[in-house]
Chain A
């Protein structure tokens, strides 16, 4: 990947990150908020992948993997809570 594209991408991803943070805050309903949070973490994972490539270190991807795991678990737990009133049946 060429350096120019890198920097443009990182910059644009940061803008998207800010936009989705706004969406999390201004979500209309609780489920929209959960969804926006999931999307936020997805964008973050992509950003980490880019940075990992830019700086030439592989361990940012580990952080990305952990974030993806946490986001999935959080989404499922939050939706279960709102559906049933408790997380474990």
Chain B
């Protein structure tokens, strides 16, 4: 009884094990209630089955096979957890609820348990209390309307951040004048105006001054504070933004990390 005699049986056993585990994995994907638990089925069960079959196919002891199998195995071992993590991260971002009874969501996003049920119940049109809202404000009429909309929709403890971005546009043939919102003081004044208006409408807000491209600045702030909603007007105040025809809101609407409200 040499090693060569035993190997086929070992390979057999591995294959049978792999089949069983992969079947459990596929069935698990079907039966698991949410993405987070489905991840276990694929990145643990099915993955284990695949590795077992790969190892089993090494039983022929050919160097060509062994090198290839080793390569695939190393690659899968390194990347399967990363892929699973990417999916989990996206699930958090997209607010996928956790549907298993004992789940605990520590991120404060209300994805599990009582918080989740309550949030679902409060999903009337509008911004729920506890949501974080970022409003782009440049003093224009559009921006003021955006503020009014936020005031209409916001719950009492929504955390609102007003952002004014000074765009630093390169000199262009279309718009020879440079900044969208001009000097620092002017920007501060606009911000204070925004905050005052919100205060008039009965809401507290934080004011943030941001630099660079308005769309990117707004999205950066939103990402930083983990915002749930970005509110922008369609068009701006100065010549340049009017000429650009609402490119800020378009860019934000397509690339934002969260919901976007464009106020006309």
Given A9-B19, A72-B79, A84 contacting B255 (CB threshold 8 A): yes
Q: B112 an interface residue at 8 Å Cβ cutoff?
A: no
From the candidates B54, B80, B93, B255, name the one contacting A49 in the complex (CB within 8 A).
B54
Q: Which of A4-57 contact B (CB under 8 A)?
A: 5, 9, 12-13, 16, 19-20, 23, 29-32, 34-36, 38-39, 42-43, 45-46, 49-50, 52-53, 56
List the B side residues contacting A23 at CB < 8 Å: 26, 29-30
Which range holds the interface residue count of chain B?
Answer: 35 or more
Count the A residues whose beta carbon is within 8 Å of the partner chain — how many?
46
Chain B 90-105 per-residue mask, 1 if CB under 8 angstroms from chain A, else 0: 1101101000000000
Chain B 62-97 per-residue mask, 1 if CB under 8 angstroms from chain A, else 0: 101100110110011001101100110111011010
**Residues B12 and A1 in contact, CB atoms below 8 Å apart:** yes
**Residues A68 and B29 in contact, CB atoms below 8 Å apart:** no
**Residues A39 and B25 in contact, CB atoms below 8 Å apart:** yes
Closest to B253 in A: A85
Closest to A6 in B: B15
List the A side residues contacting B42 at CB < 8 Å: 35-36, 38-39, 42
- Distance of A10 Cα from B62 Cα, bound (Å): 21
From the candidates B16, B35, B39, B254, name the one contacting A85 in the complex (CB within 8 A).
B254
Given A31-B91, A38-B42, A76-B82, A16 contacting B22 (CB threshold 8 A): yes
Given A5-B16, A32-B35, A46 contacting B90 (CB threshold 8 A): no
Q: B126 an interface residue at 8 Å Cβ cutoff?
A: no
List the B side residues contacting A83 at CB < 8 Å: 89-90, 93-94, 257
**Residues B90 and A53 in contact, CB atoms below 8 Å apart:** no
List the B side residues contacting A82 at CB < 8 Å: 90, 93-94
Chain B 32-75 per-residue mask, 1 if CB under 8 angstroms from chain A, else 0: 00010011011000110110011011011010110011011001
Given A9-B19, A38-B42, A2 contacting B8 (CB threshold 8 A): yes
From the candidates A46, A56, A76, name the one contacting B83 in the complex (CB within 8 A).
A76
Q: Assuming A39-B25, A43-B50, A49-B57, what are 17 further A-B pairs, CB within 8 angstroms? A: A1-B11, A1-B15, A1-B57, A5-B15, A32-B35, A38-B83, A42-B47, A49-B72, A53-B60, A61-B57, A61-B68, A65-B75, A68-B75, A71-B83, A75-B86, A76-B83, A85-B254
CB-defined A-B contacts under 8 Å, sample of 21: A9-B15, A9-B19, A9-B53, A12-B19, A20-B29, A31-B35, A39-B41, A45-B50, A45-B54, A46-B18, A49-B54, A53-B56, A53-B59, A61-B72, A62-B68, A71-B83, A72-B79, A72-B80, A76-B82, A76-B83, A83-B93
